[in-house]
Structure formats: structure tokens, C-alpha cells
């Protein structure tokens, strides 16, 4: 298994291009199952999760062609299977996104239950209840969600709690249902809006995506379309925090600062000077140490849970004391224990981390436990003294395109240590960037 070796070497400095949003590209790819037409999708990030979704679509009968850099064209004339197998679903929970489209277009779907996840139990009951309300018959057998229908009907569905992929699954299914579907207490994430824009370009009739009540009028069929994925707000936020934690100055291009308001406000509170235009953002810490900032995660437009680990890392080396409260997922503080190995002073009390900043973190061998926890460890390592060796970085590869190349471009001392290498000392690591 590959590892990352990082030596903190002062402020990050320079500019990098932000990739397309993973969490927008995954549902848009799943949505292409809804039509026989060709869907051309641009700005797709090169990530492990995207490869998994493409593999899943191919298993289901979709033809996927690479049309250019970051561009894919999909076509699903027929389905030769409606089964999303365990081997693929277990590596990526977002595979559940094929459930709604398969059911709506082909009248049947079998999707493996995603199973436990490192950041909490993450059930899919809301997806299932919603599809049942639209007339699907659903059973759980042999670890699979087995669903069929002779035709979905529009329904009014009230989510008990806000679910991003739950909203996406039902929104996709509703595009081909007969009549009108109203989703109440829907997720308002920018990725929902991006998916709705793509679906509407395919002939769907969706109103108010991005608001708590979404209205979808079903149509008979969808057609091919072109769509460009929005920039990744979490990748953008991660690079901004990395700059803040190292006292650096970084400019991010091809991004959408308007999707990051709360994160930007928190970074200003931490002492950063931030300027932005429509598609770029620049942070300047002027070599200063950040002030610790308290955050509470909650559904969009509030502070994103996917930025929580990065702020714990920032606070760990910041001036003062902060609380970080996680309200979306239980058990999403596994990075705390790893950061403690680097000297961080973090106390966990239920769903809150109390972080007392220390003058300087120290490099140590640490283990990545999930995607965003890994990002937190990378940030801590960039700000620490000495070498940090991060194990299990396949988590990072799921969601960050070329992270070591991008960080190296900003001056970081970062190397990928290939998996077969028994020890970094015996076989020196390859320098990347
Ligand atoms: C999506 C994002 C993920 C992000 C999360 C919260 C994608 C591919 N992933 O995940 O990066 O961290 O939103 O912003 O977009 N829940 C239920 N029953 C359900 C569904 C969810 O109880 O049927 C609970 C979950 O356990 C969790 C909360 O609802 O506590 C929110 O989860 P949800 O928004 O569904 O997360 P994902 O869509 O899986």
C-alpha cells in the first residue's frame, strides 16, 4: 500500500487548478442511466471513486468513452444487468446512486447494501422509504436491496433528516415518474443543483433545486445532453486550510468561491486575508500562525462535515483554543487520535472535539482512516516539524486528484512511497512534482 511522506518546510506558496467536484460527478454519472441518449460530461476529476462509478455503469450496460481530458461520453441503450454487486458497492457508498435511475428507467434494481462505513453507520432507509412512497416494491434479501416497479408515481416525500445522496436518488427517480414529486426538507448542497441542471438539460422538469422543497414533474423520457461538472468546493477548502496552517499564500484557479462562504468566513476569523473573483480565490496568511476557530458542522449552507477534519488539523497548531462539533456523522473523529500522535492536544467529548493549539506539531507515522481524515493529516504534516509518514493513502486517492503533485507545485516536500517498498530508508521514495 502506498504511503505519503511529508516534511513540513514552511509556508505553501503559488497557484494550482481545482478539479471538478467528485460529489457532483458521481450522481451525474449515475443519472446518465436515465437515458438512451449520449451524455457528454466535462470537468470530471481523475479519481478512484470515479473509476469505480464508471466500472459500475459498465457492469450495468453503459458504454463509456473518454472524449478528451476530463471528458466522458456515456450511452445506455439497454441494460444487461440491473445488479450493482457487493464488490463495487463496498468500496464506494455512492454506488447507491444507481438505485433510483435503474428503477425509474428499467423498472428493477438490485443494489448491494453499502454496509458499515468508517465514519458511522450511514443507513439508506430514507432512499428506500422514498422510493416505496413512489410505488416501488422493495425487499432486502441476501445483503441486496431488491426493487421493482411497473411504473413510479409522483409523491410528496418529507425527509426526516437532510440526506445528500437520498435527495439525489429520489430526484433522479422522480424525473421519469408519472405526475409530480415534491421533496421536502431536501438537501441544498451545490452538487444537488449541479445534478438538477444536468437532468434539466436532459429534458427533466425540476424546479427549486438548491432549496428545501424541490418539485419534479415527471416526463416520459430523457435525452442526451452536455454538462460541465462544478468545481470541487471541498478540494478548494482543503487547499485554503493547508495554506492557512503553513502561514502561506496560495491562489486557486478554476474554482467557485461563492460555494464556500462559511469556510472563507472561518478562515478570515483565523486571521487569513482572502480575495476572490468569480472563478479564483487567494488566501494570504503573511507567515502568521492561525488563530483557533470553533465550527459546528451542519447541512449546506452551514459548515460542511467534509471540512471538519481539516479544521481540527488547523486548530491543532493554531493560537488558542476551539471546539469542533460534528452533527452529521457519529464517529467522524478518527483523525483526532492520529493527530495526537503528532503532539496535538485534542479532547473528545461526545460529538465535540476540544482542541488546544500547540506551538508546533511533530511529524510521526500516522494512518489515514477515511477520505477527509486523510486530508486533515496531510495538512497537519505540512505544518509539522520533521517527517510524517501517512499510511493507507488510498483513501486520499478516492477524492483528491493528484494531491501530491499539486502540493509539490506549492513548494511542499511531499513524496509518494510506493507500496511494495518495505521501508523508506532502504529504498528512497520517488520525488513527485
Ligand atoms: C454525502 C457526501 C459526503 C458528505 C455527506 C454529508 C456524496 C457522494 N457524499 O454523503 O461526502 O460527507 O453527504 O454532507 O455526495 N442518513 C440516514 N438515512 C439515510 C441517509 C442518510 O440516517 O437513508 C443519515 C446519515 O447516516 C448521516 C446523515 O443522514 O448521519 C447525512 O448523510 P447523507 O447526507 O445521506 O450523506 P451521503 O449522501 O452518504
Q: Is the peptide bond before 301 cis (omega within 30 degrees of 0)?
A: yes
Instruction: Give the H or E element holding residue 228.
Output: strand 225-228
- 363 alpha carbon – ligand 1 mean position (Å): 32
CA distances from 412 to 57, 88, 342 (A): 37, 34, 18
Which pLDDT belongs to residue 314?
98
Which residues of the chain fall short of a pLDDT of 50?
421-433
Cβ contacts of residue 283 below 8 Å, gap of 6+?
240, 243, 244, 248, 249, 250, 267, 272, 273, 274
- 38 alpha carbon – ligand 1 mean position (Å): 29
> Which residue CA neighbors atom 34 of ligand 1 most closely?
163
Phi, psi angle pair for 225, to nearest 5°: -165, 175
- Residue 330 CA: nearest ligand 1 atom is 30
CA 274/CA 303 separation, integer angstroms: 18
Test site for ligand 1: of 328, 331, 374, 395, most ligand atoms within 8 A of the Cβ: 328
CA 358/CA 344 separation, integer angstroms: 7
State if residue 124 touches ligand 1 by the CB under 6 angstroms criterion: yes
State if residue 157 touches ligand 1 by the CB under 6 angstroms criterion: no
Active site residue 117: yes
Judge contact between 195 and 172, C-beta under 8 A.
yes
- Residue 299 CA: nearest ligand 1 atom is 14
pLDDT digit string (tens) for 360-370? 999 999 999 88
- 246 alpha carbon – ligand 1 mean position (Å): 31
How far does Cα 214 stand from its chain's mean position? 22
CA 192/CA 430 separation, integer angstroms: 39
State if residue 161 touches ligand 1 by the CB under 6 angstroms criterion: yes
Residue among 54, 67, 73, 117 flagged as catalytic: 117
Q: Which burial class, exposed, middle or buried, applies to 320 when counting CB atoms under 10 A from its CB (0-12, 13-18, 19+)?
A: middle
Instruction: Give the H or E element holding residue 261.
Output: helix 261-269
Q: Which residues of 129-149 are buried (b: 16+ CB within 10 A; e: fewer)?
A: bbbebbbbebeeeeebbbbeb
CA 318/CA 356 separation, integer angstroms: 8
**Closest to 152 in 3D by CA, of 99, 92, 105:** 105
- 395 alpha carbon – ligand 1 mean position (Å): 17
- 162 alpha carbon – ligand 1 mean position (Å): 8
Which pLDDT belongs to residue 420?
67
State if residue 235 touches ligand 1 by the CB under 6 angstroms criterion: no
Which pLDDT belongs to residue 428?
34
- 167 alpha carbon – ligand 1 mean position (Å): 10
State if residue 165 touches ligand 1 by the CB under 6 angstroms criterion: yes
What are 407's three cell numbers? 502540493
What are 428's three cell numbers? 528512497
State if residue 116 touches ligand 1 by the CB under 6 angstroms criterion: no
Cβ contacts of residue 25 below 8 Å, gap of 6+?
41, 43, 44, 45, 50, 53, 229
Quote the strand ranges of 85-167, DSSP E.
Answer: 108-112, 137-141, 144-148, 156-158
CA angle centred on 157, ends 155 and 163, rounded to 5° = 140
pTM: 0.95
- Residue 49 CA: nearest ligand 1 atom is 8
State if residue 122 touches ligand 1 by the CB under 6 angstroms criterion: yes
Block residue for cell numbers 414529486: 181
- Residue 165 CA: nearest ligand 1 atom is 38
What are 311's three cell numbers? 479544521
State if residue 329 touches ligand 1 by the CB under 6 angstroms criterion: yes
State if residue 94 touches ligand 1 by the CB under 6 angstroms criterion: yes
Instruction: Give the H or E element holding residue 283.
Output: strand 280-284
> Which residue CA neighbors atom 11 of ligand 1 most closely?
306
pLDDT digit string (tens) for 241-268? 999 999 999 999 999 999 999 999 999 9
**Closest to 119 in 3D by CA, of 300, 303, 308, 339:** 308
The one-character DSSP state at 249 is E
359: helix, strand or coil: coil
Judge contact between 417 and 388, C-beta under 8 A.
no
State if residue 164 touches ligand 1 by the CB under 6 angstroms criterion: yes
226: helix, strand or coil: strand
**Closest to 290 in 3D by CA, of 320, 263, 257, 323:** 320
Which pLDDT belongs to residue 425?
38
Phi, psi angle pair for 357, to nearest 5°: -65, 140
> Which residue CA neighbors atom 25 of ligand 1 most closely?
122
Q: Alpha helices, DSSP H only, in 40-93? A: 48-60, 86-89
Neighbour tally for 65: CB within 10 Å: 11
- Residue 27 CA: nearest ligand 1 atom is 8
Q: Which burial class, exposed, middle or buried, applies to 302 when counting CB atoms under 10 A from its CB (0-12, 13-18, 19+)?
A: middle
Amino acid at each position: 500500500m502506498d504511503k505519503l511522506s511529508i516534511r513540513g518546510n514552511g509556508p505553501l506558496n503559488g497557484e494550482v487548478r481545482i478539479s471538478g467536484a467528485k460529489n457532483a460527478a458521481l450522481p451525474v454519472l449515475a443519472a446518465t442511466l436515465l437515458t438512451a441518449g449520449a451524455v457528454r460530461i466535462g470537468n470530471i476529476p481523475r479519481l478512484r471513486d470515479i473509476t469505480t462509478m464508471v466500472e459500475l455503469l459498465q457492469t450495468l450496460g453503459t458504454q463509456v468513452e473518454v472524449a478528451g481530458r476530463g471528458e466522458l461520453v456515456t450511452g445506455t441503450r439497454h441494460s444487461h444487468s440491473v445488479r450493482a454487486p457487493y464488490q463495487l458497492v463496498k468500496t464506494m457508498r455512492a454506488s447507491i446512486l444507481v438505485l433510483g435511475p435503474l428503477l425509474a428507467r428499467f423498472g428493477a434494481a438490485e443494489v448491494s447494501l453499502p454496509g458499515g462505513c468508517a465514519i458511522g453507520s450511514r443507513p439508506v432507509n430514507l432512499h428506500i422509504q422514498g422510493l416505496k412512497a413512489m410505488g416501488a416494491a422493495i425487499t432486502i434479501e441476501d445483503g441486496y436491496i431488491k426493487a421493482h416497479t411497473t411504473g413510479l408515481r409522483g409523491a410528496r416525500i418529507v425527509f426526516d433528516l437532510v440526506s445528500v445522496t437520498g435527495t439525489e436518488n429520489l430526484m433522479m427517480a422522480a424525473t421519469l415518474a408519472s405526475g409530480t414529486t415534491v421533496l421536502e426538507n431536501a438537501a441544498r448542497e451545490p452538487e444537488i443543483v449541479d445534478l438538477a441542471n444536468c437532468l434539466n438539460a436532459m429534458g427533466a422538469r425540476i424546479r427549486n433545486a438548491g432549496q428545501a422543497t424541490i418539485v419534479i414533474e415527471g416526463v416520459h423520457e430523457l435525452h442526451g445532453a452536455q454538462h460541465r461538472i462544478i468545481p470541487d468546493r471541498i478540494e478548494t477548502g482543503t487547499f485554503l486550510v493547508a495554506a492557512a496552517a503553513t502561514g502561506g499564500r496560495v491562489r486557486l484557479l478554476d474554482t467557485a468561491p461563492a460555494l464556500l462562504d462559511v469556510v472563507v468566513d472561518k478562515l478570515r476569523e483565523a486571521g487569513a486575508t482572502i480575495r476572490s473573483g468569480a472563478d479564483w480565490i487567494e488566501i494570504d496568511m503573511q507567515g502568521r500562525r492561525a488563530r483557533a476557530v470553533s465550527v459546528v458542522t451542519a447541512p449546506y449552507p452551514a459548515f460542511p462535515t467534509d471540512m471538519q477534519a481539516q479544521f481540527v488539523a488547523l486548530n491543532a497548531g493554531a493560537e488558542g483554543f476551539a471546539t469542533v462539533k460534528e452533527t452529521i456523522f457519529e464517529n467522524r473523529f478518527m483523525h483526532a487520535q492520529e493527530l495526537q500522535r503528532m503532539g496535538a492536544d485534542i479532547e473528545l467529548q461526545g460529538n465535540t472535539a476540544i482542541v488546544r493549539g500547540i506551538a508546533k506539531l511533530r511529524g510521526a507515522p500516522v494512518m489515514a482512516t477515511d477520505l477527509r481524515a486523510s486530508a486533515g493529516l496531510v495538512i497537519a504534516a505540512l505544518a509539522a516539524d520533521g517527517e510524517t509518514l501517512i499510511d493507507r493513502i488510498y483513501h486520499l486517492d478516492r477524492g483528491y486528484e493528484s494531491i501530491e503533485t499539486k502540493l509539490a507545485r506549492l513548494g511542499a516536500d511531499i513524496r509518494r512511497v510506493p507500496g511494495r517498498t518495505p521501508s523508506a530508508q532502504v529504498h528512497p521514495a520517488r520525488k513527485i512534482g
